[in-house]
Amino acid sequence: MAKVFIGVGHGGKDSGAVANGLVEKDLALSMALYCKAELVRHGVGVKMSRERDEDDRLSEEIRECNAYNPDVAVDVHINSGGGDGFEVFHSRYGGVGKTLAKNIEEEVKKIGQNSRGLKIRVNDEGRDYFGFIRETKCPAVILEAGFIDSEDRKIFDEPDEQRRFGVAYAKGILRTLGIAWRPDNDSTVQAAIDIIRKKAGLEQQTIDYLLAYRYAKDLVIKLAAAME
């Protein structure tokens, strides 16, 4: 079984970037959970650095990633600084990490987000600057969906838009792993889940428990209709 590690930027006391009523740690978690769901649907093993709002130190992320020994790893973030567009960092050494970055970038552009490109960053010693890329044992990339403090936020500020980013990330990962993407014919159920999350403010873990119910599909559709 192919395995993927998903790092979720910030968490707990570390909110990450905050602007326009949006918080990076929450947006990153939402996108990461959607990405996980799509990967799991395709039979991929997934471990996340966190699945709720809790302290999530980078050193712990790296330790968990290396212990899991995945084929590839991604770290989900939201940018700030008043810019525009998606960008992805990969190792200066290229290889599978660069391929992963390119595949994800192509999928993100398909959902309407422009790209600032594939990037590397090195430290004074000429090594990869970011610990998540430098210290993980597998090919790893850092994903910056867009800018929280500019008009760019409008492409990811709603749950359904966050789902599109998560699915785009998953598609790029799947392509890198050599796994063909299968369309999800249950879009009605997913739309209902998005409504419930937005209206009731439920965490993904609660949604997961709900979906374990025998008649979950009918239930979420009825709940969403009642909330509209």
Domains in the chain, CATH or no CATH each: 3-177 (3.40.630.40), 187-227 (no CATH)
Helix crossing, 95-110 with 159-177: angle to 10°?
A: 140
Q: Could you report the average pLDDT of every consecutive run of 10 residues in the chain (228 residues)?
A: 97 97 97 92 94 96 98 98 97 98 97 97 97 98 98 95 95 97 72 81 75 72 76
This prediction's pTM: 0.83
Q: What's the distance, Cα to Cα, between the start and end of the chain in Å?
A: 40
pLDDT given at position 200: 83
pLDDT given at position 212: 67
**Residue from 24, 87, 144, 161 carrying the catalytic annotation:** 144
Residues contacting 150, CB < 8 A, separation 6+: 82, 83, 84
pLDDT given at position 210: 74
Q: How far apart are CA 48 and CA 35, in angstroms?
A: 10
Helix crossing, 204-211 with 216-227: angle to 10°?
A: 130
- Order across the sheet with 115-119: list the strands: 45-48, 3-8, 72-79, 140-147, 86-89, 115-119
144 is catalytic: yes
Residue of 22, 5, 149, 20 lying closest to 76 (CA atoms): 5
